[in-house]
Amino acid sequence: MFKNIEGQRVPSVTFKTRRDHNWVDQTSDDIFAGKNVIVFSLPGAFTPTCSSSHVPRYNQLQPWFKANGIDEVICVSVNDAFVMSEWALSQKADRVNFLPDGNGDFTDGMGLLVGKEDLGFGKRSWRYSMLVRDGVIEKMFIEPGEPGDPFHVSDADTMLEYLDPQAEKPHDVTVFSRPGCPFCAKAKDLLRQAGIEYEELVLNRDYTDRTLRAVAAATSYPQVFVDGSLVGGSDDLERWLQESGKIASRDAA
């Protein structure tokens, strides 16, 4: 079992970071003093769970964390500054600060430096998250000490649940579109009006019509999916937004 150190100060270390092609030393005080910070730490950059689940969801929920008084969301890994910078770019996670703990000093001070020699990783961080206020650890979510790379409690949704149990989480929205489609433009404009973020998949760039037929049994554009369900085209989306109270209906106007 790993020791929970809630109520204690974060380790005092110096992080070797890069900024505009220059080395920049950042101390623990630089990062945590006078701030409310969420940290999530993981075994390694570019690794499967870290890239597919851990980082993207923290990046997505960052505005919800900010609304709850969080100044910064930080991803820590025992990797060097170059690797962390490239990983941040590949993830398109511009709302998260990727902080390199290259020598493992911070992770060791947290008591969460573990041996991954069986994978050829050397020493890495155990997966965890924590809420830090002015350098003091308020809450920790440490993954259980079981074989492999457990991912049960250090996720972004668990942290948001702790901060705000009543928070309405964002919708997961994808728009299947095609170039030059006015109805696609309407759907995207409706989502922007409602303040809903979305991902767009463009025909013959990201998918073919075969994919659209396979997932939506449709050949018209756009096709909008919300939280795992097909809403439909732009008119269907407009009705859904009106019924959900996210935009005013035309009748009400």
Q: Would you please indicate which residues are annotated as catalytic (active-site) residues? A: 50
Amino acid of residue 23: W
Q: Are 135 and 10 in contact (CB under 8 A)?
A: yes
Cα of 191 vs its chain's centroid, Å: 20
Please tell me what DSSP assigns to residue 54. Answer: I
Nearest 10 degrees: Cα torsion 208, 209, 212, 214? -100
Q: What is the 3-state secondary structure (H, E, C) of 109-133?
A: HCCCEEECHHHCCCEEECCEEEEEE
Beta bridge partners of 201: 176
Please report which helix (H) or strand (E) contains residue 232, including its range. strand 229-232
Residue in 156, 105, 162 with CA at minimum distance from that of residue 127? 156
Contacts 24+ apart (CB under 8 A), 61-69: 61/156, 61/157, 61/160, 61/169, 61/170, 62/95, 62/96, 63/95, 64/160, 64/164, 64/167, 64/169, 64/170, 65/38, 65/159, 65/160, 65/163, 68/160, 68/163, 68/164, 68/167, 69/36
C-alpha neighbours within 13 Å on the C-beta side of residue 231: 25
